[in-house]
């Protein structure tokens, strides 16, 4: 059984109030830190709250599930990764493929 890593509820159940992983049903951001009016959030009924479901992180190119995270300097990322993918998750293999495709950067000059 999959459980929330923050409040330990089972998948399909409502988070314990105050859980970092709970989504705001209005903006879908993190409930405890979103900019939605607090009085509206306080009025939420259980039926309006979003149950927890584990949503996997996927590589935007190959679809690898929960790829290992890695860091590269921003300038290297922006040089080799085309703009539509720059705010997405890429696995290391797909990032290295982008570097091979565009050794001098994706901007064609």
Q: Which residues contact 3 (CB under 8 A, 6 or more apart)?
A: 9, 10, 11
Query: What's the domain range around 44?
Result: 1-55
Confidence grade of residue 37 (pLDDT, cut at 50, 70, 90)? confident
Contact 85, 61 (CB under 8 A): yes
Same domain, 47 and 67: no
Nearest to 89 by CA among 53, 64, 106, 107: 64
Same domain, 51 and 12: yes
Instruction: Say whether pTM exceeds 0.85.
Output: no
Same domain, 8 and 29: yes
pLDDT of the residue at 22: 92
Residue after which a domain boundary falls, among 11, 33, 55: 55
Per-residue pLDDT tens digits for 2-30: 899 999 999 999 999 889 999 988 888 89
Same domain, 27 and 70: no
pLDDT of the residue at 74: 96
Same domain, 34 and 74: no
Same domain, 8 and 25: yes
Same domain, 62 and 89: yes
Confidence grade of residue 39 (pLDDT, cut at 50, 70, 90)? confident
Per-residue pLDDT tens digits for 40-97: 766 666 668 889 999 899 999 999 999 999 999 999 999 999 999 999 999 999 999 9
Number of domains in the chain: 2
Same domain, 60 and 97: yes
């Amino acid at each position: 059984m999959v459980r929330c890593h923050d409040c330990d509820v089972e998948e399909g159940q409502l988070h314990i109030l105050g859980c970092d992983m709970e989504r705001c049903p209005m903006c879908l951001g993190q409930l405890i830190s979103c900019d939605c009016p607090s009085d509206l959030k306080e009025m939420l009924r259980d039926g309006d709250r979003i149950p927890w479901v584990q949503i996997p992180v996927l590589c935007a190119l190959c679809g690898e599930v929960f790829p290992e995270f890695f860091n590269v300097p921003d300038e290297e990322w922006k040089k080799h990764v085309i703009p539509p993918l720059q705010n997405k998750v890429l696995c290391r293999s797909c990032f290295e493929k982008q570097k091979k495709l565009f050794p001098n950067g994706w901007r064609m000059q």
